[in-house]
């Protein structure tokens, strides 16, 4: 890793990492924890952990991807500490209402056709990320947290349920709610606009 940074004329220290990756990491953390102070602390902890653990970097992924992996662990630790602060009561009837859209694990059966790019590619676009961030902040905090753990962090159902102390049924219901809210918001604020642009 040191060689990579030397080639790019970047010093391997927290200040240099903050300048190059700080904004991205902050926005990633802020979407997840919805608290600027907490997000800033996570970024600082992530950069310090990266410097201390630089020998663990093997160059198999980009530096940014490596740093995101570290901040994800910070986010999971944050949620674990808060897991008992809120309780939820979600009904299975609402989950069944989405069976035509999602499978038994809560994933899209058929990805909306006008969402022509994968979520990973879309999130690389700064303008889309801004709309995504706005939609996430409009969502109830618990729904946004669950969506993030599943879709951004890639956690399995059992692990999310353990972290948040909820049942599988409640998780699927809340994932349904989160995906529907996000889909409606992105449709209105991104995809419809992009289609209008293409139609011009």
| Distance between start and end Cα atoms, the chain | 46
Which of 198, 27, 195, 177 lies closest to 89, judged by CA? Answer: 177
Q: Coil, strand, or helix at residue 108?
A: strand
Report yes or no on whether pTM surpasses 0.85. Answer: no
Residue 42: predicted pLDDT: 96
Q: Over 70: is that where the pLDDT of 80 sits? A: yes
Q: What is the dihedral of CA 25, 26, 29, 31, to 10 degrees?
A: -120
What pLDDT does 100 receive? Answer: 47
Instruction: Quote the mean pLDDT of the chain.
Output: 76
Q: 91 by DSSP, 3-state: which?
A: coil
Mean pLDDT for the stretch of residues 13-22: 87
pLDDT digits (tens, 9 = 90+) for 114-141: 444 555 555 566 677 788 888 888 899 8
Among 134, 128, 166, smallest CA distance to 150 is for 166
Q: How far apart are CA 4 and CA 63, in angstroms?
A: 9
- Specify whether the CB–CB gap between 50 and 25 falls below 8 A: no
Range 143-168 average pLDDT: 89
pLDDT at residue 94 in the model: 44
Please give the pLDDT value at position 174. 92
pLDDT at 199: 53
Phi–psi pair at 17, nearest 5 degrees: -65, -40
Task: Categorize the per-residue pLDDT at 38 as very low, low, confident or very high, splitting at 50, 70 and 90.
Answer: very high
Give the domains, in start order, of the chain with CATH numbers.
2-81 (1.10.1740.10), 92-199 (1.10.10.10)
Percent of the chain with pLDDT over 90: 25
| Region label for 89, one of left (φ > 0), alpha (ψ between -120 and 50) or beta (otherwise) | beta
pLDDT exceeds 60 at position 142: yes
81-115: pLDDT as tens digits: 877 555 544 444 444 444 444 555 555 554 444 44
Give dist(CA 85, CA 139) in Å, integer. 18
Q: What is the pLDDT of residues 44-55, one digit of tens each?
A: 999 999 988 887
Supply 176's token pair: 């349904």
């Amino acid at each position: 890793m040191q060689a990579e940074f030397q080639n790019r004329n970047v010093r391997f220290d927290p200040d240099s990492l903050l300048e190059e990756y700080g904004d991205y990491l902050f926005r990633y953390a802020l979407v997840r924890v919805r608290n600027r102070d907490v997000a800033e602390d996570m970024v600082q902890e992530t950069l310090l952990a990266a410097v201390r653990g630089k020998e663990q970097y093997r160059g198999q992924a980009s530096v940014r991807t490596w740093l995101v992996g570290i901040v994800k662990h910070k986010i999971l630790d944050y949620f674990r500490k808060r897991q008992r602060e809120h309780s939820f009561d979600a009904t299975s009837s609402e989950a069944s209402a989405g069976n035509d859209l999602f499978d038994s694990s809560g994933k899209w059966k058929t990805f909306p056709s006008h969402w022509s790019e994968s979520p990973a590619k879309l999130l690389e676009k700064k303008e889309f990320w801004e709309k995504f961030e706005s939609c996430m902040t409009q969502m109830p905090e618990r729904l946004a947290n669950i969506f993030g753990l599943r879709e951004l962090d890639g956690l399995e159902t059992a692990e999310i349920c353990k972290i948040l102390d909820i049942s599988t049924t409640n998780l699927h219901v809340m994932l349904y709610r989160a995906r529907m809210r996000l889909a409606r918001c992105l449709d209105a604020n991104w995809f419809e606009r992009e289609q209008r642009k293409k139609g011009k």
